[in-house]
Every structure is written in C-alpha cells, then in structure tokens.
C-alpha cells in the first residue's frame, strides 16, 4: 500500500526551548524535586542488574543546538536495554525504507506485556511493533550483515553514532542476559515459524542481547534522543546519522508503543515520544527542541523508572514540551477572551 508519506513532502514547524539558563535551572529543579523519592524496586530478573545502587539518579537535557544540561549521576554508566530498540529500528528504516519495515515489523500497540508470546499468536505471527520483544527481534534480524558478528558491529557502530561516542558492550550484563533469555529464544523461533525472521534464531537473539547490553549514561541517551529531535543530525558531533523521514517514523512509533501497555497513559500525561529500559533509563524526545535522558534504577510494576517518569513529566510541563499543548491564538490588537467571560 502506497501511503501519503511517500507522496507529499513533510513540512516542519517547531518552537524552541527557553534560554540556556532557564533549561539548566529546570533540569536541576527536576533532579532536586525527585531525588529522595524511594518508590519502586531495582530489576532483579536479570541478575547483573540486581546489584544496581537504588540511590543513583541523573537528569540530562540535550538541546538540538548541542547544549547539554547534566545533573546528578549523569556520568554513571548502565546498560541501555530496551532503549536500544528505538535506535536499531531507526537504523533499519534508514537501510530498508518506510514500507518494507512497516510490513515486516508493524507499528500498532499490542496492548499486552513487552515479552508476550500470546500477542504473536493472536496476530498470526505478526510482531505488531518494534518496541515489544517480538518486534525488536524481527527488527534486529533485518540489520544488514552476512553473519551475526557483522550485524552486531553494524548495530554497535550505529548506536555509537547516535550517542556521539564509541559505545562498548557490558560483558557481565551480556552473559547474565544470555543465561536468562529463554523466552526471547522461544519468541524468535516462533517468529521464524511464521516467516518473520530469515536468519538462524539463536544468532538473532544474541545480537539483540548484545545491543541491550551496550553501556550508556544519561547524557548518551539524551544526545541519542536529540539526534532524533534534530532530523537525524547528532547535535553534538553534527554528523548525520539517519534521515528526517526516519526520525519522523521512529518518533511516531515511540509515541504509540514506546512505553508498552502504558503508552496511552504516558502520552496522555506527558505528551512526548519516549522509550524506557529496565536498567533504569528513559529517553523522551521533543521534536525540533531536544531530548530528556534520565537514569534511576528503581522501577514501577511495568518496568519504567519511577524517578525518571516524574522528572520527565516535570520537564515536559515546565519547558512546554507536550506535543498536544497549545495556547489560544491572539490577533494583534485583539486580546483573547474566553467565551464564558466575553461581554
């Protein structure tokens, strides 16, 4: 099916963030406001994550002009986990195009948990979207390369370009996840049975496990998000990583599916495309403006950082980032009057 996106050029009209000092002030306020919040628990179903210090908390805002505001434990590294799904999806879209990836992976929310096997069966093998594990495995299987090692290097190099520095594998996390990823192996074999994965499933799962075990910090994920906000150009290195069209597609998928079955709640309350990871990271993107990267290992029942969600919500409101927020238009010389109070 040929879509409107293939026929009509996308015009862009976005606002801007307030001045540097104001953004810095609000980033610090967000950190101070929630640093003592102790709700949630550290993920323990991946043994290597269970020892994370629950007190760690970082807030980072990366602007599309290259400015970076980092507060708290912004230099502490953690594994990127499911946040990687968004950026691998962008790399695959850049390589294969809008329609091919949409047909193979999909863009609709499953309404079920991220690791659901039932969701695959209910859709006759279609993974539905790239943010759940089935869709992420199908996406990783599309990464160019003749061998798993070549595909892994393509992923690592691509995510490093998004971050603006070379990212490295956390070997301990990779070993830990490899020993506990039987469910992902089962999902990959199920997808193979439906013709959604062309490569040997074990190799696909290993590349996916490796991408989740890449080490990042809050600054990295903020810069990665700001690259999507800046039409595919890394705002720090000024290198083009992906196209404007790929950024639009990726952010649309994040808006509808990035926070799993809580995506509707997230969009309703915060109004930004976002992606979380069970190590405690969250990245949220404001197109044309920048991105917020947060890190705190305490998670809620859905696997999303508690402090990170609250800090992101605070910044979305105070920086005016909500995609759905607007103010009445006022014509020159004609101040706005609400109908209820107009004479």
Tens of pLDDT, residue by residue over 147-162, are 999 999 999 999 999 9
pLDDT score of 195 more than 90: no
Rounded distance between C-alpha atoms, residue 289 and residue 153, angstroms: 30
- Residue carrying structure tokens 């602007």: 63
Of residues 81 and 112, more confidently modeled: 81
CB contact at 8 A, 247 and 90: yes
Residue 76 tokens read as 């502490």
- Residue carrying structure tokens 């926070």: 259
CATH number where 254 lies = 3.40.710.10
- In a domain? residue 107: yes
pLDDT value for 32: 98
pLDDT score of 212 more than 50: yes
What number is the average pLDDT over the span 79-94?
A: 95
Closest CA to 223 of 276, 156, 164: 164
3 state SS of 331: strand
Split at pLDDT 50, 70, 90, the class of 334 is: low
Closest CA to 205 of 184, 191, 190: 184
pLDDT value for 112: 47
Highest averaged pLDDT of the listed ranges 93-107, 228-242, 255-269: 228-242
CB contact at 8 A, 128 and 135: yes
- In a domain? residue 132: yes
**CA diameter of the chain:** 73
Q: Is the dihedral of CA 153, 157, 163, 169 positive or negative?
A: positive
- Residue carrying structure tokens 């013709």: 195
Q: Tell me the catalytic residues.
A: 82, 85, 208, 260, 278
CB contact at 8 A, 118 and 112: yes
pLDDT value for 9: 75
CB contact at 8 A, 113 and 120: no
- Number of folded domains in the chain? 1
What number is the average pLDDT over the span 5-20?
A: 77
- In a domain? residue 328: no
- Residue carrying structure tokens 């998004």: 162
pLDDT value for 20: 93
- Residue carrying structure tokens 């490295």: 168
Neighbour-count burial of 127, counting CB atoms closer than 10 A to its CB (0-12 exposed, 13-18 middle, 19+ buried): buried
What number is the average pLDDT over the span 241-263?
A: 91
> Angle CA(264)–CA(131)–CA(197) in degrees, nearest 5?
145
pLDDT score of 13 more than 80: no
Torsion angle in degrees (nearest 10) through CA of 142, 204, 295, 299: 120
Rounded distance between C-alpha atoms, residue 276 and residue 332, angstroms: 43
CB contact at 8 A, 264 and 270: no
Residue 153, marked binder: no
Looking at every residue in the chain, the average pLDDT score rounds to: 88
Instruction: Identify the domain containing residue 47 by its residue range.
Output: 15-318
Split at pLDDT 50, 70, 90, the class of 264 is: confident
Residue 133, marked binder: yes
- In a domain? residue 126: yes
Residue 82, marked binder: yes
pLDDT value for 341: 41
pLDDT score of 320 more than 50: yes
What number is the average pLDDT over the span 78-99?
A: 93
Residue 243, marked binder: no
Q: What letter would DSSP give residue 75?
A: T
Helix (H) or strand (E) holding 299: strand 298-299
Residue 89, marked binder: no
Question: How distant, in Å, are the alpha carbons of 96, 259, 284 from that of 168?
Answer: 26, 25, 23
Residue 278, marked binder: yes
Residue 322, marked binder: no
């Amino acid at each position: 099916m040929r879509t409107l996106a293939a026929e009509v050029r996308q015009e862009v009209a976005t606002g801007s963030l307030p001045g540097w000092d104001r953004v810095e002030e609000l980033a610090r306020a967000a950190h101070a406001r929630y640093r003592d919040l102790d709700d949630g628990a550290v993920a323990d179903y991946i043994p290597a994550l269970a020892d994370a210090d629950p007190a760690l908390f970082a807030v980072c805002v990366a602007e599309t002009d290259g400015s970076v505001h980092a507060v708290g434990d912004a230099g502490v590294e953690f594994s990127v986990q499911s946040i990687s799904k968004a950026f691998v999806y962008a790399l695959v879209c850049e390589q294969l195009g809008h329609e091919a990836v949409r047909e193979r992976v999909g863009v609709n929310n499953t309404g079920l948990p991220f690791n659901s096997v039932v969701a695959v069966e209910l859709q006759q093998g279609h993974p539905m979207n790239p943010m759940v594990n089935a869709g992420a495995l199908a996406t990783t299987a599309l990464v160019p390369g003749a061998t798993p090692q070549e595909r892994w290097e393509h992923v690592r190099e691509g995510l490093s370009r998004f971050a603006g520095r070379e990212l490295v594998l956390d070997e301990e996390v990779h070993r830990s996840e490899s020993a506990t990823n039987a469910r992902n192996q089962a999902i990959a074999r199920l997808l193979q049975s439906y013709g959604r994965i062309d490569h040997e499933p074990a190799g696909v799962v290993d590349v996916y496990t490796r991408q989740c075990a890449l080490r990042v910090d809050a600054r990295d994920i903020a810069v990665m998000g700001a690259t999507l906000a800046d039409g595919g150009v890394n705002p720090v290195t000024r290198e083009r990583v992906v196209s404007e069209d790929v950024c639009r597609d990726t952010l649309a998928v994040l808006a509808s599916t990035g926070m799993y079955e809580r995506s509707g709640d997230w969009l309703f309350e915060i109004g930004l495309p976002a992606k979380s990871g069970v190590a405690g990271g969250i990245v949220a993107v404001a197109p044309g403006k920048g991105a917020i990267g947060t890190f705190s290992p305490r998670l809620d029942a859905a696997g999303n950082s508690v402090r990170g969600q609250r800090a992101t919500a605070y910044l979305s409101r105070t920086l005016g980032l909500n995609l759905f927020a607007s103010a009445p238009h006022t014509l020159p010389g004609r101040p706005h009057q609400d109908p209820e109070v107009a004479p």
